[in-house]
Structure 1
Amino acid sequence: MPRQKNATNRRHFLKVSTLAATSLGLPTIVPASALGLDGHTAPSNRLTVGCIGTGGKGRHNAGEFIKLPDCQVIAICDVDANHMQTAKTKIDKAYDNTDCSTHADFRELANHDGLDVICVSTPDHWHALASIAALDGGKDVYCEKPLANSVKEGRAICQAAARNDRILQTGSHERSGDGRRMACELVRNGRIGELRSIRINLPTTDTHHMQVKSWTEPQPDMPVPEYLDWDRWLGHTPLVPYTDKRCHFWWRFVLAYGGGEMTDRGAHVIDLAQLAAGRDDTTPVEYLAKGSPNASGLFDAYMDYVFVNIYDDGLKMIGSTQGPRGVKFEGDEGWIFIHVHAQKVEASDPRILESKIGKNGIHLGRSPGHHRNFIDCVKSRQDPVATGEIGHRTGTICHLNNIAMKLGRPIRWDPVNEVIINDSEANTLLGPQMRDPWHL
């Protein structure tokens, strides 16, 4: 059954504008852009976008929506006033106006009657609460990857999307790349023979990884900057003193807020593994993982690790923090390697990549771009390329590997009931203990 479309104020733009002009005794002159002429999309046909989180990724996502002529960013939210002002300046400049409103509380956007779509680009620990509020507020949601910072939070987001009949796109944008979809198609159609194993490479040798590894001393407590609402930044996590290395960007290496490289780039690389293996509706059932966190005490995410995940049919996904970033599919007749963030695909035989898929083969289709695909699906009410369910399962794999590393023992997973089998301690790690007043 098709999803219901959002009824919003934007659809009344021309009517309201005309009435306002008439009431003031002004001539009713509507510019071509307002009528959708000269290649413009009329405001009455544009989807309105609100952005929660305006840091680096938030500004990037806002920029992607700005590029689309049939939507307009009209509201933003952040607990960092500096980030928010920088984003507002960028957005206002793009639209040549000063209309973009600013908000310190994400719930104002979730309940905003004039918004169709909300983009969530907060640190990971805020993904669930912000997305659920937006979905419950009747908004379609584009949520950055990983979908959530825990298994239970990811499931709660998906439940919110289902009960509100909303479109939910996970920001796993690698899935929208033509070359990646082509490579996954080749694997699905047996061009490397039967798929025997998958290798995940998540190197932690970038400059920022090496910086984290070098910070072995405890980080000092600092005064909270005037422009930052620290209590709200922490949200449902424990109330702790401010230090700059706990906050912007570096939060991803603190498990209360992110999952380290496993959920950062892993959410891209493992997502492609799921797509090529045809496992978007499930996950591996066995998790063996060993890793070491940083020695500082603040950065407790695992920086160097190995893992083996086994699907119920015996297919193995083997990962480590070695090698070029990407995913290798090993078959009994060859291999394909997708370089993630490098726009490159390799194969054991170049002819594999030139192979054509017949009309009766498995076709994954192509995406016009991740943000474009999302907006198209908001209009059509069809599923996007990275639904919440897809993002949730990819995230689940990442979280379970982190749990196995934390416990120092293998775990077995029931992907239907989403519980760790015969391990009560491990099950307590599937979701966070939330600080009042926040809860799922």
Structure 2
Amino acid sequence: MNVNRRRFTSLLAGAAAASRVLGANNRIRVGVIGTGGRGRELMRILCQFPDCDMPAVSDVIDSRMDEAVAVLQNAARPQTADKHVDYRRILDRKDIDTVVIATTQHWHGIPFLHAVQAGKPIYVEKPLSHTVVEGRTMVEAARKAGVLALMGTQQRTGPPYRRAVELIRGGRLGKIALVESFNYSNTGARTGRPPDSDPPPGVHWNEWLGPAPLVPFNRARLDSSWWFDYGGGMLTNWAVHHIDIILWAMNYPAPTAVSATGGKFVVDDLADTYDTLECSWEFPGWVMTYRYRGFNNYHTVLNRPRNHGIIFYGSQATLVMDRFGFELYDERDVSKPAEKMDGIPWLDPKTRNLVDPKTGQRTEQDGPYQRLFLDAVKEGKRELDPTLEQSHAATVCCQLGNIAYRLKRRIAWDAAREQVPGDTQAAAMLHKQYRAPFSLPEVQNAGV
């Protein structure tokens, strides 16, 4: 898949003026770019909406496209889809109203910007970008072209999260000085240590690597989140969900410094990200932390046996939360919750059913969140909550954590300028070298 520079630098003015005309009966036609595990989960969700069709899918692994088409064919309302290795064929199609980008993390930026140029609303999986500079480019391009874009942080529609944010912003916890978040899971051998080999038939390896360095095929690399060249470990794969909620609750402050320590101490595999991490962000008047254990399943909060969570510590109360709800404990009596609320992040993690046919129970995160996006596309909106700027802020926190981890030291952060002052080594890591001929559009030359 050669990337034509002229395509990159095509004027975005046309995208800004492009009218989104939905199909017959006000249907929404979605092109899916990236049909790995999360991409197919999103397809299982979207095909349950009676007004949503998916006439085209794209992936650089043929078998994943075959699986994606099977998802559609086996749905309650069967569909079929054309398959395109080159995602740009989807963007060229006039019968596609909007796109989902669920590629590996290092492939979020370029198709996002191509979709902006095509004037198509974008649902992009988290994290927003692979680097700080890439993310800023994406935010500015979407804003100036007037293209709707939403990052996949589906916790936002969960009633417990919304109630927790209401309590925190309303001062129920008092002065909050510390917010902790965590993930833990015994990942075993993770990617393992398979030998390099020729790519299997149907794996378009050069296209899979895209802007990343050219290396021999190794199936361990397909588990991309564990590699810094393609992802960012658990900070960008999971912590971005926590940090999105934390920044929302704390009214979107910006950190002034970031520290991280950890390493790959237990897991023996080929990947280069940590299995142990302690990360800390300094904000004016409070601290945010993230802890990851990739080799151990001990429950951080014993009465909430989940492998993830957030804890807000205030002078008047403490709030413990995860995707299944929250509990609030008053300082005057920490023996029992003063308030609690349960949540339903999903009904069946495999089928992603939105409604239980027996009980009528509905999911509150995956499903409603994507519906929010589809409705915004129908209504011609250009922005949603969370805004792309807010999603960028959460992603940047994770990227700074990885920079601090890789440098093994504290780094200062100038959020207004998005720079690391006085630190050329850290500043160089805010961007990356793209392997030719892949590059980001030079949007300053594209009329934006």
Task: Note the C-alpha offset of 1:390.
Answer: 1.5
Alignment of 1:174 with 2:155, yes or no, is yes
1:315 to 262, 276, 286: 286
Alignment of 1:72 with 2:53, yes or no, is yes
Task: Note the C-alpha offset of 1:182.
Answer: 0.9
| TM-score, normalised relative to structure 2 | 0.81
Amino acid in the other structure paired with 2:274 = Y
What is the SS of the residue equivalent to 1:401? helix
In 2, distance between residues paired with 1:80 and 1:346? 43
Amino acid in the other structure paired with 1:298 = L
The equivalent of 1:418 in structure 2 is 418
2:318, 2:329 within 8 Å by CA — same for their partners in 1? Answer: yes
Alignment of 1:336 with 2:345, yes or no, is no
What is the SS of the residue equivalent to 2:134? helix
Q: Higher helix share goes to which structure?
A: 1
Alignment of 1:242 with 2:217, yes or no, is yes
The equivalent of 2:377 in structure 1 is 378
Task: Note the C-alpha offset of 1:409.
Answer: 1.1
How many positions carry a matched residue from both structures?
Answer: 383
What is the SS of the residue equivalent to 1:59? helix
| TM-score, normalised relative to structure 1 | 0.82
Amino acid in the other structure paired with 2:238 = R
Amino acid in the other structure paired with 2:146 = D
Amino acid in the other structure paired with 1:212 = R
2:328, 2:340 within 8 Å by CA — same for their partners in 1? Answer: yes
What is the SS of the residue equivalent to 1:419? coil
- Aligned ranges 1:22-101 → 2 under 5 Å: 43-94=24-75, 99-101=80-82
Alignment of 1:228 with 2:203, yes or no, is yes
What is the SS of the residue equivalent to 2:108? helix
Task: Note the C-alpha offset of 1:353.
Answer: 4.2
In 2, distance between residues paired with 1:320 and 1:79? 34
In 2, distance between residues paired with 1:297 and 1:403? 21
- Aligned ranges 1:185-224 → 2 under 5 Å: 185-203=166-184, 205-206=185-186, 209-212=187-190, 215=192, 219-224=194-199
Between 291-300 and 255-264, the greater mean CA deviation after superposition: 291-300
Amino acid in the other structure paired with 1:326 = G
1:109, 1:134 within 8 Å by CA — same for their partners in 2? Answer: no
- Aligned ranges 1:224-373 → 2 under 5 Å: 224-247=199-222, 250-279=223-252, 282-293=253-264, 298-311=270-283, 313-321=284-292, 323=300, 324-340=307-323, 343-349=324-330, 350-353=337-340, 369-373=368-372
What is the SS of the residue equivalent to 2:215? coil
Amino acid in the other structure paired with 1:303 = D
In 2, distance between residues paired with 1:143 and 1:219? 31
1:373, 1:385 within 8 Å by CA — same for their partners in 2? Answer: no
Q: What do residues 351-394 of structure 1 show as CA deviations (whole Å, max 9, x unaligned)?
A: 3448xxxxxxxxxxx98811011112223315323332121111
What is the SS of the residue equivalent to 2:75? helix
In 2, distance between residues paired with 1:414 and 1:81? 43
Amino acid in the other structure paired with 1:401 = G
CA RMSD across the alignment: 2.2
Query: Which structure has the greater CA radius of gyration?
Result: 1
What is the SS of the residue equivalent to 1:132? helix
What is the SS of the residue equivalent to 2:255? coil
In the alignment, structure 2 segments of 5+ residues that lack a partner are: 1-14, 294-299, 301-306, 331-336, 342-363, 441-448
1:202, 1:262 within 8 Å by CA — same for their partners in 2? Answer: no
* Percent identical residues: 30
The equivalent of 1:433 in structure 2 is 433
Task: Note the C-alpha offset of 1:201.
Answer: 1.1
What is the SS of the residue equivalent to 1:212? coil
In 1, distance between residues paired with 2:79 and 2:175? 57
Q: What do residues 387-426 of structure 1 show as CA deviations (whole Å, max 9, x unaligned)?
A: 3212111110001011001111110111111111110111
Task: Note the C-alpha offset of 1:171.
Answer: 0.3
1:171, 1:386 within 8 Å by CA — same for their partners in 2? Answer: no
Task: Note the C-alpha offset of 1:228.
Answer: 0.7
1:75, 1:101 within 8 Å by CA — same for their partners in 2? Answer: yes
In 1, distance between residues paired with 2:79 and 2:401? 46
In the alignment, structure 1 segments of 5+ residues that lack a partner are: 12-42, 355-365
1:111, 1:134 within 8 Å by CA — same for their partners in 2? Answer: no
What is the SS of the residue equivalent to 1:94? coil
Alignment of 1:393 with 2:393, yes or no, is yes
